[in-house]
Chain A
Amino acid sequence: MAGHRIYMITSISRFIEKNRRALIALLVLSVMMIIFLIINPQVFLNPLMYKAIFKTLSMFIILASAMVFVIVSGEIDLSFGSIVGLAGWTLVLTLESGLSPYLGVLFALIVGAFIGFINGIIITRLGISSLVSTIGMSFLIRGLIYIGTKGMGTSVVYLAGTPFYNAFIGSIWGFPVNMLWALGFVVLSVLLFDYHIFGAQISCVGDNLESSLEMGINVATIKTLAFVYVGIASAIVAVQFTLTNQIFYPGSGDGLLLIVLAAVFIGGTPGWGGIGTIMGSVIGACIISVINSGIIAAGVSYLFKEFFYGLIIILALIGHKLNEKRC
Chain B
Amino acid sequence: MKNKFLELKNISKSFGKVSALERVNFYIKGEPEIVGLIGDNGAGKSTLIKIISGIHTPDCGEIYINGKRMENWSVVKSRASGVETVYQDRALAMQQTLARNIFMGRELTSIFGFVKSKLQFAEADRLMRTIGFTSKVFASDSAVVNLSGGERQGVAIARALYFKANLMILDEPTTALSLTEAQKIFDFIRQARKGGSSCIFITHNIYHAYDVSDRCVVLDRGKIVMETDREHTTVEQLVKDMQKIAQNNGKVREGINNARS
Contacts and interface: CB of A to CB of B under 8 A. Distances in A.
Contact of B100 (A195, A196, A204): A204
B100 A203 contact: yes
A198 B112 CA distance: 11
B105 A201 contact: yes
B96 to A, nearest CB: 6
Contact of A275 (B95, B107, B141): B95
Interface string B84-111: 0000001111111000100011110100
A210 B90 contact: yes
A-B complex: 6 closest residue pairs judged by Cβ atoms: A215-B105, A207-B93, A216-B105, A208-B93, A274-B95, A215-B104
A39 B104 CA distance: 51
Nearest to A274: B95
A217 B105 contact: yes
Contacts of B117: 195
Q: How large is the interface on A (under 10, 10 to 19, 20 to 34, 35 or more residues)?
A: 20 to 34
24 contacts: A195-B114, A195-B117, A196-B115, A197-B107, A197-B114, A197-B115, A198-B113, A201-B107, A204-B96, A204-B105, A207-B93, A207-B94, A207-B95, A208-B90, A208-B91, A211-B104, A212-B93, A214-B91, A215-B104, A215-B105, A216-B106, A274-B93, A274-B96, A275-B95
Interface of B: 90-96, 100, 104-107, 109, 113-115, 117, 141
A24 B176 CA distance: 36
Contacts of B94: 207-208, 274
A200 interface: yes
A18 B141 CA distance: 9
Given A208-B93, A275-B95, A215 B114 contact: no
Nearest to A204: B93
B93 A211 contact: yes
A9 to B, nearest CB: 15
Contacts of A195: 114-115, 117
Interface in A196-233: 196-198, 200-201, 203-204, 207-208, 210-212, 214-217
A202 to B, nearest CB: 11
Nearest to B143: A275
A203 B115 CA distance: 13
Contacts of B105: 201, 204, 212, 215-217
B114 A196 contact: yes
Nearest to B93: A207
Interface string A129-162: 0000000000000000000000000000000000
A227 B95 CA distance: 22
Contacts of A216: 105-106
Contacts of B100: 200, 203-204
Contacts of A211: 90-93, 104
A14 B139 CA distance: 11
A217 B90 CA distance: 15
Given A203-B93, A203-B96, A274-B93, A217 B104 contact: yes
Contacts of B104: 204, 211-212, 215, 217
Nearest to A215: B105
A207 B95 CA distance: 7
Contacts of B141: 14, 18
A271 to B, nearest CB: 13
Contact of A197 (B95, B96, B113): B113
Contacts of B91: 208, 211, 214
Nearest to B75: A214
A197 B100 CA distance: 10
B113 A196 contact: yes
Contacts of B113: 196-198
